[in-house]
Every structure is written in C-alpha cells, then in structure tokens.
C-alpha cells in the first residue's frame, strides 16, 4: 500500500500525528488513546498496513 494512502486512511479515522521519528512517524487515535508507528517507506506491506489500520480504529 502506498504510504500516502495509508496516512489518508489513518487521518480519516480521527488519528493525529504525535511526532516524527528517525524511521517512523507516530500516529495516535484521540478517541481510544492507542498509538502506532508508521514506517517512512514509500510502500508499506499490505499485512503491516492492515495491522496499523486495525490497531488505530
């Protein structure tokens, strides 16, 4: 999955960027308080992208 598409989907679910890391950006769902790292690669593997979306919903 393209990283930009993943970030659009994450932000659509009410998540915000917490901080930039060296290799990952951290997003947090404000409703649940759950945070997840998102890799800074152009392409994110499908299983990893689905896991990130599942955790942040």
CATH number for position 32:
3.30.920
Number of domains in the chain: 1
Residue 56 CA to residue 28 CA, distance in Å, equals: 7
Read off the pLDDT of each residue in 17-46 and give the average, rounded to a whole number: 95
Range of the domain at 48: 3-56
Say whether pTM exceeds 0.85: yes
Read off the pLDDT of each residue in 16-44 and give the average, rounded to a whole number: 95
Position 27 scores a pLDDT of 97
């Amino acid at each position: 999955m393209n990283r930009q598409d993943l970030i659009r989907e994450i932000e659509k679910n009410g998540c915000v960027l917490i901080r930039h890391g060296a290799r990952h950006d951290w997003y947090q769902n404000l409703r649940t308080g759950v945070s997840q790292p998102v890799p800074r690669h152009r392409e994110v593997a499908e299983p990893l992208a689905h896991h990130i979306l599942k955790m942040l919903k």
